[in-house]
Structure 1
Amino acid sequence: MHERTCGCPDETSAAASGDTSAATGRGAAAAAPGDTSAATGGGAAAAAPGGTAVTASPEGTAAAAAPRAHTGRSPRSRAWAELLRLPALFSVPGDALTGTAATGAPANSRTLLAIASSLCLYEAGMALNDWADRHIDAVERPHRPLPSGRIRPAAALTAAGALTGAGLALAARAGRPALAVAAPLAATVWAYDLGLKHTPAGPLAMGTARGLDLLLGAAATTGSTRPALPSAALLGTHTLAVTTVSRQEAQGGSPLPPLAALATTALLTRLVTRHSAGVTRGRRQATVHGPAGPRAIRHPAQDSGALLTTALGAAYAATTARPYVHATLNPSPPLTQRAVGSGIRATIPLQAALTARSRGTATALLIAALAPLGARFAKKVSVT
């Protein structure tokens, strides 16, 4: 769902697209409604050279952030954009679209309702995350909207409740199967933010939320989640890895989490790009019989789909490989934060690769196009 990170504003925002959700070491932005986080922040104040925590007055923090805050919005709307991490939303639509593609069915009006529901639940997780961490942020990230006083805690909690209600209502409009997935999704988001985030179960909860978000698209579109379970497992595993790395981004720590995330990325890339020969959206390859015996004829669309899947899988791996290697060699807060931001950003090409693998070529290209848009907006408002 939502991947919540604690990264340096200048470095992480340039390296991340969104969550994710999540997306949501503070818990990874994606995914998904929102971790994000895992997927796609602020800890420059908590990550001075040498790892020394630096606190600042709201006035000093605002002044330091002024060059980045010049976006033409009012201070109040800017504060809400930061609280909700709006650029992270670009990692959310791909969940429902990937789930829909896995079923082999075309997107319809219920798919759009699932996307809207995901967006609401993702943002609910973002607001609730800051409300639950407001006392920690007062020490580690005093520039965030709640500790700086730009948004009242009660307003953030109210927004989280309202957005959760809206997300469930939209899922109900998409049908009972969609609501049956959205309800545990919302429960997972609230459980993560209010209790599981700082426990060993936190990364698993975040990965589960992102996987459920993908299944929401399948349930809304066709009423069945079964065909989308493999894609949900792969996307959830990615989110789990990013969230695990994010848990040590504030103080740095062991090289094992980024190393494990690097290995996970390599495994997921292999699994996603492995071509499933013989079936294209339920249509088997044609077979011809010649002097040498029967042989299968591949449809041109199969070849183009495989090439696109491979290209998107390579983009996914390339997005995270270098930052994970750097964080493994030197698990300092800045490099760990950059690795988390890259993991959040990699959610989008992974979604696109999974969609292309399901022969949703046009949808895969649409999802992939969200990545540069998210990166552009992340330069103005951090996704973490």
Structure 2
Amino acid sequence: MRLPALFSVPGDALAGAAATGSAPGCRTLLAIGSSLCLYEAGMALNDWADRDIDAVERPHRPLPSGRVLPAAALTAACALTGAGLALAARAGRPALAVAAPLAATVWAYDLGLKHTPAGPVAMGAARGLDLLLGAAATTGRARPALPSAALLGTHTLAVTTVSRQEARGGSPLAPLAALATTALLTRQVTRRSAPPTRGHRAPAMDTGPAYALKGPRTPNRNPGQESAALLTTALGAAYAATTARPYFHAALNPSPPLTQRAVGAGIRATIPLQATLIARSRSTATALLIAALAPLGARFAKKVSVT
């Protein structure tokens, strides 16, 4: 089940809720539960589908080593998928309308798309749908969260592209592309804060005699806006710092160990990216809560591999 990777899941639904401008509620918690179940279903199904390949490349994994039977892994994948869809249904019809294609994408990736050029795109789409699930569950509307879903999906696409060569090593192009993608995403998520809340009116510009002497005045920002902007910048820097060195090292030497380290860093970087998306929507408390999951995930990653 790879426990450390689970810490990267709750932020999806919370980022989706923040993108709609709404506070998370009980339905958001149901969306998080659904996401966790579908994510773990994908983990179990992945090992079941790759059991023959893992027997050659990674014989220490649970199925090739005989610690878990293939039938048990497939049963777990089916049960967790059913549980995820049931939780989404409890959150409402809009949430189920997003969870169903999310589950289909997870199964399609593990059973057929993973080893095709469409694999990274499917994985990116799954992560984006997971964020939309949080938005749909919280407010019944997923459209306002589409920009955030696209950013998170792009990050996941880059990480998945690198992961395709983690077992055997390969070209430095994938980690270089991921490094460039991280830089672009960091700039995008930190360059401006979320738009003003509904009903907010910008102050009128002073055009009187003082304008000629002093020039235009910049509208005052309240302390909440300033703290959200600072937190967004700090979290964006944490996101970039998490992946920069591992991606660079993998580009210099795309060996399996360094590539696997880069993939693990990319998965862990999902957490500060989620926190940045939440912070720019001025949900500072939720952003800090998600950011706190990063050190926990890193701690458990020392005991259980993320990849």
Name the TM-score class by shorter chain.
over 0.9
C-alpha displacement at 1:361, in angstroms? Answer: 0.5
Partner Cα distance (1:116, 1:236) in 2: 20
For each residue in 1:52-74, what CA deviation from the matched residue of structure 2 results, as whole angstroms up to 9, or x when unmatched? Answer: xxxxxxxxxxxxxxxxxxxxxxx
Letter in 2 for 1:181: V
- Which residue among 71, 76, 89 is the counterpart of 1:159? 76
TM-score, length of structure 2 as denominator length = 0.95
Q: How do 1:152-301 residues align onto structure 2 when only pairs under 5 Å count?
A: 152-276=69-193, 279-280=196-197, 283-287=200-204, 289=206, 291-292=210-211, 295-301=218-224
C-alpha displacement at 1:294, in angstroms? Answer: 6.2
C-alpha displacement at 1:380, in angstroms? Answer: 2.0
Runs (4+) of structure 1 exceeding 6 A deviation are none
Distance change >3 Å, CA 374–CA 276, structure 1 → 2? closer
Q: How many residues align?
A: 301
Partner Cα distance (1:85, 1:282) in 2: 45
Asked if residue 144 in structure 1 is aligned to residue 67 in structure 2, the reply is no
Q: How do 1:2-17 residues align onto structure 2 when only pairs under 5 Å count?
A: none
- Which residue among 292, 295, 304 is the counterpart of 1:372? 295
C-alpha displacement at 1:376, in angstroms? Answer: 1.4
> Is 2:194–2:282's contact at 8 Å kept on the other side of the alignment?
no
C-alpha displacement at 1:288, in angstroms? Answer: 6.0
Letter in 1 for 2:266: G
Structure 1: which 5+ residue stretches go unaligned?
1-83
C-alpha displacement at 1:284, in angstroms? Answer: 4.5
Letter in 1 for 2:58: R
> Is 1:278–1:284's contact at 8 Å kept on the other side of the alignment?
no
3-state SS of 1:328 partner:
helix
For each residue in 1:37-83, what CA deviation from the matched residue of structure 2 results, as whole angstroms up to 9, or x when unmatched? Answer: xxxxxxxxxxxxxxxxxxxxxxxxxxxxxxxxxxxxxxxxxxxxxxx
Asked if residue 325 in structure 1 is aligned to residue 248 in structure 2, the reply is yes
> Is 1:100–1:107's contact at 8 Å kept on the other side of the alignment?
yes
Partner Cα distance (1:246, 1:204) in 2: 13
Structure 2: which 5+ residue stretches go unaligned?
none
Alignment partner, residue 44 of structure 2: 127
Alignment partner, residue 107 of structure 1: 24
What is the RMSD of the two structures over their aligned residues, measured on CA atoms?
1.4
Alignment partner, residue 356 of structure 1: 279
Partner Cα distance (2:59, 2:168) in 1: 16
> Is 1:96–1:114's contact at 8 Å kept on the other side of the alignment?
yes
C-alpha displacement at 1:279, in angstroms? Answer: 1.8
Asked if residue 346 in structure 1 is aligned to residue 269 in structure 2, the reply is yes
TM-score, length of structure 1 as denominator length = 0.76
C-alpha displacement at 1:337, in angstroms? Answer: 1.1
For each residue in 1:94-115, what CA deviation from the matched residue of structure 2 results, as whole angstroms up to 9, or x when unmatched? Answer: 0000000010001110000000
Letter in 2 for 1:224: R
Greater displacement, 224-233 / 330-339: 330-339
Partner Cα distance (1:261, 1:275) in 2: 23
Distance change >3 Å, CA 322–CA 281, structure 1 → 2? farther
Partner Cα distance (1:158, 1:277) in 2: 43
> Is 2:194–2:280's contact at 8 Å kept on the other side of the alignment?
no
> Is 1:280–1:302's contact at 8 Å kept on the other side of the alignment?
no
For each residue in 1:335-368, what CA deviation from the matched residue of structure 2 results, as whole angstroms up to 9, or x when unmatched? Answer: 1111111101100000000100111110000000
Higher helix share: 2
Alignment partner, residue 32 of structure 1: none
> Is 1:262–1:321's contact at 8 Å kept on the other side of the alignment?
yes
C-alpha displacement at 1:322, in angstroms? Answer: 0.8
Distance change >3 Å, CA 123–CA 304, structure 1 → 2? same
